[in-house]
Structure 1
Amino acid sequence: MVKTVRLEPIAQNTSVETNGNLLSVLINKDLDVLKECGGRGMCATCHIYVKEGMESLSPVSRREQRTLEVITTCKPHSRLACQARVLQDGVVVELPPGMYINSIKDIEALIGRRADQDLLHPLTGKVLVEAGKLITRSTLKQIEDTTSFNVGNYFSLTTDS
């Protein structure tokens, strides 16, 4: 059976099969959502906010909860789109503000320009370059230093005994 999901702030309704995940909805709408871990709930790059209908989604798993804990922009209504399965109608999803970067090469192409919007670290959600700020080579070096976060190391430290 097909369920309807509303995407904000673009004000579009889209359909997904019952038990389909929200990541497939976002990809089908050609939204620029990263999926670095291949949908295994480990990288946090598909972090979204559920504005309405949290009860219409599958429950948060332990793995998803551990991943959400590393996101600085995490809120009580945060989910990983790859892990949140749609069980009923009434889900309204909002992508976190800012642009998620995939690699340092994405930033290199922007050197000498001002950031149109905040550039966010894809794992932690930390603002790397504020909107309106000039992206320089020294900014690039700073970004390289702050993006050394290793997901595998984090999860090896947080696994339950």
Structure 2
Amino acid sequence: MAKIVKLDPIDEETAIKTNDNLLSGLLRNELNVLQECGGRGMCSTCHIYIKEGMGSLSPLNRREKRTLEVITTCKMNSRLACQARVIGEGVVIELPSGMYLSEIEDIDALIGRRAQQDILHPLSGKVLVEEGKLISRSMISQLKDTRGEIKEYLAKTEDYSY
């Protein structure tokens, strides 16, 4: 049976099947969620805030807890949409402001422009470029390092299941 989940601040509702993760609802609403780790709970690109209904979600697992510990914008109501499964009604989620960039081509197109919103690190959620600041070529080297970090992290964790 489907549960209705409200998405803030866009004020939309989506139906998510009981025991499906919140990420499926975000993707169904055509929200651009990167899933840098492939939905395995090892990055920050599907980080969300639960405004209401935390008790209507599955408990945090060990992997999600470890990942949330490194997300710089993590709060008490933070969850990873790929790990949080809907088990009840009344869930209201808020998408953090900011934009995750994972491809060098994305940055190339933005060099020399001012960031329209914060640009965030895909693993930690750390702000790489603040809103209104100039995007420089040094972002490319930071992103190359990030891609290496992600591949290394995923390689280390492939054999572990939680």
Q: In which range does the TM-score fall when normalised by the shorter chain?
A: 0.7 to 0.9
The residue that corresponds to 1:49 in the other structure is 49
1:115 aligns with 2:77: no
Give, in angstroms, the shift of residue 148 of structure 1: 6.0
* 1:42–1:17 distance in 2 versus 1, CA, 3 Å: same
Identity %, equivalent residues = 62
Give, in angstroms, the shift of residue 59 of structure 1: 0.3
Contact 2:7 2:13 in 1 (8 A): yes
The residue that corresponds to 2:92 in the other structure is 92
Give, in angstroms, the shift of residue 44 of structure 1: 2.5
Between 97-106 and 23-32, the greater mean CA deviation after superposition: 97-106
Aligned length: 157
The residue that corresponds to 2:105 in the other structure is 105
Contact 2:36 2:122 in 1 (8 A): no
The residue that corresponds to 2:76 in the other structure is 76
The residue that corresponds to 2:146 in the other structure is 147
Give, in angstroms, the shift of residue 147 of structure 1: 2.8
Describe the SS at the equivalent of 1:23.
Answer: helix
The residue that corresponds to 2:7 in the other structure is 7
Give, in angstroms, the shift of residue 64 of structure 1: 0.8
* 1:33–1:9 distance in 2 versus 1, CA, 3 Å: same
Q: Distance in 2 between matches of 1:91 and 1:56?
A: 7
Describe the SS at the equivalent of 1:69.
Answer: helix
**RMSD of aligned Cα (Å):** 2.1
Give, in angstroms, the shift of residue 146 of structure 1: 6.1
- Give CA-to-partner distance per residue, 1:17-74, whole Å, 9 cap, x none: 1111100000000101111222221223211111110000000001110111111111
The residue that corresponds to 2:29 in the other structure is 29
* 1:138–1:64 distance in 2 versus 1, CA, 3 Å: closer
The residue that corresponds to 1:136 in the other structure is 136
* 1:155–1:49 distance in 2 versus 1, CA, 3 Å: farther
* 1:83–1:144 distance in 2 versus 1, CA, 3 Å: closer
Give, in angstroms, the shift of residue 145 of structure 1: 6.9
- Paired residue type of 2:10: I
- Paired residue type of 2:110: L
- Paired residue type of 2:43: C
- Paired residue type of 2:31: L
The residue that corresponds to 1:59 in the other structure is 59
What TM-score, normalized by structure 1, do the two folds share? 0.88
